[in-house]
Copies of this chain bind each other. A is one copy, B any other.
Amino acid sequence: MRLVIIGGDAAGMSAASEARRRAPEAEIVVLEASRDVSYGACGLPYKLVPGADVEDLNIISAERFRTERALDVRLGHQVTSVDSAGKMVRGQADTGPFALSYDKLLIATGASAVRPAIDGLESLWGKGAYVLKTLQDGRELKAALKDKPRHAVVVGGGYIGLEATENLRKAGLEVTVVEALPSLVPFVPEAMRQRVMQEAASQGVSIRLDTKVVEVRRGASGRMVVGTTGGAIETDLVLVAVGVRPNVAFAKQAGISLGAGGAIAVDDMLRTSVEDIYAAGDCADAKHVVTGKSVWIPLALRANRAGKVAGQNMTGSRTTIPGIVGTAVFKFFDLEIARTGLSEQEAKEAGWDVVVATITSSTRAHYYPGGGKLFVSLVAERKTGKLLGGSMVGPEAAAHRVDSVAVALHAGLGAKELYAMDLAYAPPFGPSWSPLLIASSALMKAMKVD
């Protein structure tokens, strides 16, 4: 039996490793377009600071996968087409074109940074303008930082943009973030958005909201000029972080059905619409536990988990993968920004009559030194109190406290049930009434439940 896996990062290598554990005799071929396999892409922003090395993000080398797990990892192999009738993949390698038959195929091609069609940008990639998605992107950006740029424009204030902003700042650059939307972190309530803006200001970061980039060019002085709807910004370096797109080109050509966000539609066994073809990771969709609908929320845990399940099912198991609730967290200087489930707007768009409670509490007992204000917001269905989502912003505690809400969402709990929870307390870690309980109580009040 030959298993072919297209893509050698989180999902692909998890699948390959799991398949190997379960099927010691199977031939397992991993086709990776780049030169890198299995790396911690989420760590890229943190490697922008001086002294940090992008190569530290490598987890297991292709060579180790070959020798220790007997996986036939082929680097520089770009798949260009899949013939599902003939069960063949075809593509281009350094050594020329290749064709390979498969018994079971996994598409784990991930997602790519969006490179928007902005005037002048096309010719500047790698020469002043960068994205930050792959290890190679990281190497190029690190190389550019060796020229000691004084100022950077970060286009896009999503979590990659903001994580990069923090680290560029720590690398000594002035940073201006240009965000097309009228707000950063639009998935949290206004008070929490303001807290994030305040953090940016206190860290000396300039944030331009409601501003679109219309042009990027190299000016007469040799510096870059970023033309925006709010005027031109002169800078040394442009980092474009306006999101990612699933890599589905050949999947689409092969007639594989696409789902949410244009990602490959998979069922709960990670099967695509075409027999013997699976998909996992950032290129595939997932079922949202709260809405029951297909969504595309490409995050690391799901990619790892889906890879593992795909590896099981390609070797004869019938394991189902659980749905997701979209739990995400990131650090922005001295703030933790976390969310899970649906935002108020998402819940409304999904048709719910919602009630929202946003409270501020503190990350330590009032008499315990340090800490700060913790914002907690919960979204629930008005009629039943069923929790739909939550978010937290604070200098500590948000990143891990949000998991309690995620568990509650998976368990289908309501505000009253969350309020009943016996949660941890000690003075260094919060007030005796956990902020989550205070928020649940506020939710019940907003629902007029006693």
Q: Which residues of A contact B (CB under 8 A)?
A: 10, 40, 42-43, 46-47, 56-57, 59, 289, 299-302, 304-305, 317, 319, 322-331, 336, 338, 340, 365-368, 397, 399-404, 406-408, 410-411, 413, 417-418, 420-429, 432-434, 436-437, 450
Contact = CB atoms under 8 A, between A and B. Distances in A.
B365 A424 contact: no
B424 A340 contact: yes
Given A407-B407, A450-B319, A300 B40 contact: no
Nearest to A405: B407
Contacts of A423: 301, 327, 403, 406-407
A147 B43 CA distance: 52
Contacts of A429: 329, 331, 336, 399-400
Nearest to A322: B420
Contact of A427 (B42, B326, B411): B42
The 7 closest A-B pairs by CB, nearest first: A322-B420, A400-B400, A411-B411, A329-B424, A399-B429, A300-B432, A324-B422
Residue among A326, A400, A420, A428 having the largest count of chain B Cβ atoms under 10 Å: A400
A126 B10 CA distance: 62
A432 B327 contact: no
A407 B411 contact: yes
Contacts of A434: 301, 403
A326 B425 CA distance: 11
Given A301-B432, A322-B420, A400-B400, A425 B329 contact: yes
A410 B404 contact: no
A410 B417 contact: yes
Given A43-B427, A46-B428, A331-B426, 9 more contacts: A289-B422, A300-B425, A336-B429, A340-B422, A403-B423, A406-B424, A407-B411, A407-B423, A411-B413
Given A304-B432, A410-B420, A57 B367 contact: yes
A422 B340 CA distance: 9
A285 B380 CA distance: 32
Nearest to A42: B427
Given A46-B368, A331-B429, A432-B42, A410 B421 contact: yes
Q: How many copies does the complex hold?
A: 2
A424 B404 contact: no
B426 A42 contact: yes
A404 B300 CA distance: 20
A147 B446 CA distance: 54
B42 A327 contact: no
5 contacts: A43-B367, A47-B367, A300-B425, A400-B429, A410-B421
Contacts of A317: 450
A166 to B, nearest CB: 10
Nearest to A304: B432
A424 B327 contact: yes
A42 B365 contact: yes
Contacts of A40: 365-367, 427, 432
Given A43-B368, A368-B46, A432-B10, A424 B399 contact: yes
B327 A422 contact: yes
Contacts of A367: 40, 43, 46-47, 56-57
A406 B436 CA distance: 13
A186 B317 CA distance: 41
A36 to B, nearest CB: 14
Given A301-B432, A367-B56, A338 B407 contact: no
